[in-house]
Structure 1
């Protein structure tokens, strides 16, 4: 079923993509997945295929954390013996029952910090009866050779593992030219030979999955939020791996 969802997503991408003018804003290393789907077609074990079944657009402009959590937890639960539910953003938010998260992902919400995202993921996993799942965070502080090696190792460790998924908490502007805010989306694949990452962007009013280089992603992870006020001002991102 997940493979059918993924295949349908790939087949429909070309018709539903944004205008060429928007693509011109992309980082030079960023390209729509439908331009080059060969890696995914050759790798049925890539996380893309599991995540595609739960790939829904963020419910509000501030709900990327909620949409990404629903995708990641749903994909993990689909490969376990836990009770199966059709996981939606609304169901997850209600089940976790945190009024602060609800306010942060509302229409004019503030969004969540990197640390808060880890907390909400932990509570989401617990609700899905995945209490033994690990939440492993990798905060990025630079884009030198050592930092890039660390990011590549983390991506390689996650790639092809049926019991883990990874989220990126990054500055969306670096990769797509959009507003300079921090954003959360799942990672659908890591093509080590081409040194590129597939971002399954939940901001689907503007984007669908796109490839970007590991170096460009590393830059997006360490580029601070440009908001002048609020809890995310000056914050940077990182990677979060969920493993059962």
Structure 2
């Protein structure tokens, strides 16, 4: 619409209608633009959506289909696809999947990925559960009660709701629970060592890999994130990521080298690489 046509259209509006139109235009003009630092030099083929959005307008406005989460990048394989299911059933290291899948959770807010990941693993371990305010008649590890018993100087609900947790923070917080906790910064591991830890851990049902990584390194949209790894497939050299942001991405198989790159990415809060925390039952 030309400026002249716009002025004529505005002139035909009543004063309340004119104010609404002006405010709407101003808000549209102030829509935030992603910062340059969030852009990643990924080949175009990596960031093309695997599923075409409902319309070109939807794709430009939201980057996602109108009726669902973000499309899975073509370098990843969704667990729900036949190929993803086949990897799971044929993998020798898939024992973490079964208990974790029983307690799959969605993070309760956009910064609670570490909390959702942790309570999934704690419940899946089958250890003694605490009283739950959410389910008074049933002991259960929940996101609502996660910080009970954790030193607030280490982590607390208010702060984590805005900032999330670093690798060191989460490993320290998990020491408040009756579990064995082992922390590994990716910068201290070779790709082979990283692979060995993932493969060995996912082959058991009584220990779990909690991965801290940056999404852009695996071709997804977003920044730092936590989710558990539930299986490893040697034929494709990929691991199954059970994404706790289920509103955003489904469970996917990710090439291990890309997961390692995501774990190597620096955490802007700690200034250190991300990595993995492995939790399991304490030895008797």
TM-score by length of 2: 0.64
How far apart are the structure 1 equivalents of 2:116 and 2:167? 15
CA displacement at 1:176 relative to structure 2: 4.3
Instruction: Output one character per residue of 1:107-126: Cα deviation in whole Å (capped at 9) or x when no partner.
Output: xx111111101011111x2x
How far apart are the structure 2 equivalents of 1:64 and 1:243? 19
Query: Are the equivalent residues in 2 in contact too, given 1:169–1:185 (CA < 8 A)?
Result: yes
Give the match for residue 86 of structure 1. 140
How far apart are the structure 1 equivalents of 2:156 and 2:76? 31
Give the match for residue 7 of structure 1. none
Query: Are the equivalent residues in 1 in contact too, given 2:129–2:141 (CA < 8 A)?
Result: no
Give the match for residue 102 of structure 1. 157
- Alignment RMSD, CA only? 2.5
CA displacement at 1:196 relative to structure 2: 0.5
Does residue 63 (structure 1) correspond to residue 112 (structure 2)? The answer is: yes
Give the match for residue 117 of structure 1. 170
CA displacement at 1:164 relative to structure 2: 0.7
Bigger share in helix? 1
Does residue 208 (structure 1) correspond to residue 263 (structure 2)? The answer is: no
Query: Are the equivalent residues in 2 in contact too, given 1:182–1:236 (CA < 8 A)?
Result: no
Q: 1:164 aligns with which of 207, 216, 240?
A: 207
Larger radius of gyration: 2
Give the match for residue 32 of structure 1. 78
The structure-2 alpha-carbon separation of the partners of 1:172 and 1:235, relative to structure 1 and needing over 3 Å to count, comes to farther
How far apart are the structure 2 equivalents of 1:45 and 1:196? 12
How far apart are the structure 1 equivalents of 2:129 and 2:217? 39
Query: Are the equivalent residues in 2 in contact too, given 1:62–1:104 (CA < 8 A)?
Result: no
Query: Are the equivalent residues in 2 in contact too, given 1:140–1:221 (CA < 8 A)?
Result: yes
Query: Are the equivalent residues in 2 in contact too, given 1:168–1:240 (CA < 8 A)?
Result: yes
How far apart are the structure 2 equivalents of 1:120 and 1:199? 22
Give the match for residue 228 of structure 2. 186
Q: Secondary structure at the match of 2:156?
A: helix
How far apart are the structure 1 equivalents of 2:118 and 2:215? 18
The structure-2 alpha-carbon separation of the partners of 1:65 and 1:59, relative to structure 1 and needing over 3 Å to count, comes to same
CA displacement at 1:235 relative to structure 2: 3.9
The structure-2 alpha-carbon separation of the partners of 1:164 and 1:98, relative to structure 1 and needing over 3 Å to count, comes to same
How far apart are the structure 1 equivalents of 2:182 and 2:248? 29
The count of residues paired between Structure 1 and Structure 2 equals 204
TM-score by length of 1: 0.74
CA displacement at 1:221 relative to structure 2: 0.7
Give the match for residue 236 of structure 1. 273
How far apart are the structure 2 equivalents of 1:175 and 1:23? 13
Higher RCO (C-alpha 8 Å, min separation 6): 1
How far apart are the structure 2 equivalents of 1:67 and 1:104? 15
Give the match for residue 47 of structure 2. none
Give the match for residue 153 of structure 1. 196
